[in-house]
Every structure is written in structure tokens, then in C-alpha cells.
Amino acid sequence: MPKERTVETVIDHIDRNRDRYVRELIELVKIPSISSSSKHRLDVRRCAEYLQHELERIGVRKTRLFETDGHPVVYAEWTENAGAPTVLIYGHYDVQPVDPLDQWVTPPFEPDVRNGRLYGRGSVDDKGQVFAHLKAVEAWLQQTGTLPLNLKFLFEGEEEIGSANLDGFLRDNAALVRSDCVVVSDTPMLARGLPSICYGLRGLAYLQVDVRACASDLHSGSFGGVIGNPLHALVHILDQLKDQSGRIRVPGFYDKVLPLESDERAALAALPFVEQQVLTDTGAQALLGEEGYTTLERLWARPTLDLNGIWGGFIEEGAKTVIPATAHAKLSMRLVPEQDPAVISTAAASYLRSLAPAWATVDVQVLHGGQSWYDPHTDPTFDLAAAALCKGFGVERIAYIREGGSIPFVRTIADATHRPCLLIGFGLPDECAHAPNEWLDLDNYHKGIRSSAYLYDELSQLPTLG
């Protein structure tokens, strides 16, 4: 059968099995694989085992769970096409926490289909995207008994908590992950109907600040006026993190930031990006940001600092007159080339501690970090991926984008392999990743499966490492 005909047979199969693919994804999303929560440790493992079993079921028979100091790595390979190139597919099976739970319309781990959307924690980030590849592989193997190239699969369980053990895994298993190209599906498309390849990710430095002033909570009537209140110290310290214009005041924060080149600024400006859409998607009243940069530049190519959580004292219904003993905050910085997360974390921790009043103790913990990543996307591999996306989605063009989020693995594998990383995600910007009511557009899920099937065909043209 001619090659073109073969691909179309696979695509036909995918189109006929659309509903089954949704039902099967629902089973995966049901597993509460929250990597940050020690009480979900066994659920995370169960999710890894579920994926391992799925890989074997669809015909990828060489599979293994690699233990780490944290959650296991699911590794698998199908390498029966001698002489063909080898592609490594990366995704993650862990998910974000679910609070605030009361804002979910349906429970986060009871996936629910409404209006062509699958609601559930991890539906888009990243279980739906992982499954898009598994379904494409399944279709190839069911229809043709083979794949047009060799595939390796690496699904980690710690992406949402900074991939702390992945570097060690990659170091210990360098030969295993050796490949001609890496494919990552964990990024959004710029807009509906516009499949996108992402060529830049921000890095991350995540800290927790703990302020302590006295031994236990005190009555604010009996002690108010003479005892330092850690909540006041905390809000004062946190308010020193940025100046009035939003500029981050951590000493040295901007020192290593690479400026944007004018040709990239022009390319970003040409993207069909609608600012109003961000307001609609978020319900925000206005867009803000750093003077002298566009919204996309602020999101993709400029570093930021956000408080992610704050707590202390009495936070229940009613009125309790207490001076608490402690106050706490979590904050993270999104970093860009060439900011180093370790250097930035150290600088931020020192700065935070330097703001402590004499009567309070300020402790700073570094919770996690990750490097930013940037690829000039000039390698011809990008053109092959673009062609697959156009066919998979039935469109004429794709967008080259960057992403404000962080996937620490990408930088690690790119540095290790010196091969292109294709960040091809099938999510939409408003699918509430990390927020209540996360959802996956089921039409994009289907087109993602189609695109993956085309992608394997296109990438079979890659030169091999030899």
C-alpha cells in the first residue's frame, strides 16, 4: 500500500474511534495523581502503573517503572523499525492540587463531559495530551502492525513539583533516552484552530516565607500595641518585592535577562493574538505589566514574580481577635534566559530575610526551581512538525509561540541531546490548567491524536544519529 494511503488508513481509524478515546481518557483522569500531596503518593504510583499497562495493551511491550526518590518514571519503547529515526515522547502523569475544591462544578476526579469539553483535574495538563500520543500509536499498530519510526516514551510523575528527580534519571539513563528528536505535548495552542509549536519556556524559582514573632497565638486585646504581629511583618516584606511600576526589587534580578531581539519582537507582534480574549478568559478587569513590552512579551519573554499563597492567623468564619505566632506565604518567579533559578532563589531569599524586623524571624525555603528554555527553531525538524499539525487540524498554517509556564525537563533534555525539542501542545489558553474546573476541548483532543499520527509519519524522514 502506498505510504500516503497508509497514513490515511490510520487517520480513518482514529476518526472512527473518537468516542472510545474519550471514554478511555476518562479512566485515566479519574486517578488523583497529585504529586505535591504526600497523602496521594499511592495514587500517583497507581497512575504510573495504569499508563505502563496501557502502553503494553496497545502493543508497546518494552515498559518499565523506574523508581526515584520521589514518584516513579514510566519508560517504554517500541524500537522495531531498524534504520528508522527514533523519537522520544515526553509527558507527565502527575497533576496539580485541586483546591479551592468548592469552586469545582463537578468533582475534579469524577471527569464529566459537558458541551464538548471533558472537565477534570489533569484533563488538559497533561493526561489528555499524553493519551493523544498513546491513541495515535495504538491506531498505527492496530491498522498497520508497525510504526513508521521508533518511539521512546518518558512520562514523569513530578512535573508539577519541579521534576526534582528527573535530572538524575536522565544522567543515569543517558543511553536510554538517546533519540533523534524529542516531542513534548504539554503547552497550549495560541488560539482555537491555530495549532502551535512552542520554542521557549520560562523557568521557575518557587519559595516559601515563614515569619515567626512569638511562641503562640496571643489575644489582640491583651497584647495589641506592644507585641509585634507577624502578619504586619509579612505584608510589609511582601509589599517590598515589587515597586509601584511592578518592577521586581530583588537585587540583581534582571542582571542576566537576555533582551528581546527586534526580529522576534516583530514575529510576536504579527501573531493573531487578541488581548480582549485574555480579559474574557480570565474575567480580569484590565491587563497590566511591565512598561515598554507588549502583552505577549510580558507573558513569554519577561520575568515575573507572583505571590501564590498567603496565610496566617484566624481564617475561619467570624471574628477572632488574635495576634498569631506565625505568618506564611508562597511565591514564585518566572525566569527567562539566562536567569539561573539557583542564583535568583538565593538572591530572593537574602532579600526577603533582609527585610525582617528586629522582633521577628524570617525563614525562606526554596521549594523548587527549573531552567528556562529557548530554541531559535531554525532546524528543519520544525517544518516537519508544522506539516503534521496542518494535516492533523486541517489548516493552512501554524503559529510559532513561546509559553509563560515552565517544563524543566525540556531544558535538561535539550542540553543532554543537542537535538530539537518539538513542543506541540493541544491545549487552549482558557482551559483552566492549575485552576478549578480544568477542562479539555474534545475536538482538540481528537485533532491532537490525528496530528500525532501524522507527526510520526513526517518525522520518519529525519536523519538518524547513526
The set of catalytic residues is 94, 159
Tell the smallest beta-carbon distance from residue 5 to a second copy (Å): 40
- Name the phi and psi angles at 173, rounded to 5: -130, 45
- E strand residue ranges, 404-455: 421-425, 439-441
Among 3, 61, 236, 397, binds a second copy (CB under 8 A): 236
Of 304-323, binders to a second copy (CB under 8 A) are 304, 306-323
Contact status: 267 vs a second copy (CB under 8 A): no
Contact region with a second copy (CB under 8 A), list: 19-27, 46-54, 66-74, 208-216: 208-216
Residue 88 is a binding residue for a second copy (CB under 8 A): no
42 binding a second copy? (CB under 8 A): no
Q: Of 222, 354, 378, 464, which lies in the binding site for a second copy, with binding defined by CB under 8 A?
A: 222
Nearer to a second copy, 368 or 419 (CB): 368
* Choices 10-18, 64-72, 359-367, 443-451; region in contact with a second copy by CB under 8 A: 359-367
Residue 260 in contact with a second copy, rule: CB under 8 A = no
Considering only residues 108 through 147, tell me which ones interact with a second copy, judged by CB under 8 A: none
Tell me the torsion sign for CA atoms 187, 296, 278, 163.
Answer: positive
Q: Which is nearer to a second copy, 183 or 190 (CB)?
A: 190
Residue number with CB closer to a second copy (17 or 36):
36
With CB under 8 A as the contact rule, the residue among 12, 19, 67, 99 that binds a second copy is: 99
Tell the burial category of 451 from Cβ atoms under 10 Å away from its Cβ (0-12, 13-18, 19+). buried
Residue 249 CB neighbours (<10 A): 13
Compute φ and ψ for 268, nearest 5 degrees.
-65, -40
Listed residue (236, 261, 241) closest to 251, CA to CA: 241
C-alpha span between 77 and 91 (Å, rounded): 14
Residues touching a second copy, count (CB under 8 A): 99
* Binding status of residue 161 toward a second copy by CB under 8 A: yes
Residue 243 touches a second copy, criterion: CB under 8 A: no
Q: Which is nearer to a second copy, 368 or 411 (CB)?
A: 368
Sign of CA dihedral 425, 135, 155, 81: negative
- CB of 177 or CB of 323, closer to a second copy: 323
Q: Which of residues 68-87 bind a second copy (CB under 8 A)?
A: none
Asked whether position 196 contacts a second copy by CB under 8 A, the answer is no
State which of residues 71, 121, 127, 328 lies at the interface with a second copy (CB under 8 A): 328
Which string of DSSP letters, residue by residue, matches 12-69?
HHHHHTHHHHHHHHHHHHTS--BTT-GGGHHHHHHHHHHHHHHHHHHT--EEEEEP-S
Burial letters for 170-192: b for 16+ Cβ neighbours within 10 Å, e otherwise?
Answer: beeeeebbebbbbbbbbbbbbbe
- Report d(CA 9, CA 31) in Å as an integer: 33
220 near a second copy, judged by CB under 8 A? yes
3-state secondary structure (DSSP) of residue 121: coil
Nearest alpha-carbon partner for 32 in 101, 113, 124, 98:
98
**Those residues with Cβ within 8 angstroms of residue 152's Cβ, 6 or more apart along the chain or in another chain:** 75, 76, 77, 79, 86, 87, 88, 89, 176, 177, 179
**Site track 385-424 with a second copy (rule: CB under 8 A), x = hit:** ------------------xxxx------------------
Which range of residues in 3-11, 155-163, 379-387, 445-453 is near a second copy by CB under 8 A? 155-163
Rounded CA separation 338/57 (Å): 43
* Contact characters 421-460, a second copy, x per CB under 8 A: --------x--xxxxxx-----------------------
Rounded to the nearest whole angstrom, what is the least distance from the CB of residue 46 to a second copy in the complex?
Answer: 19
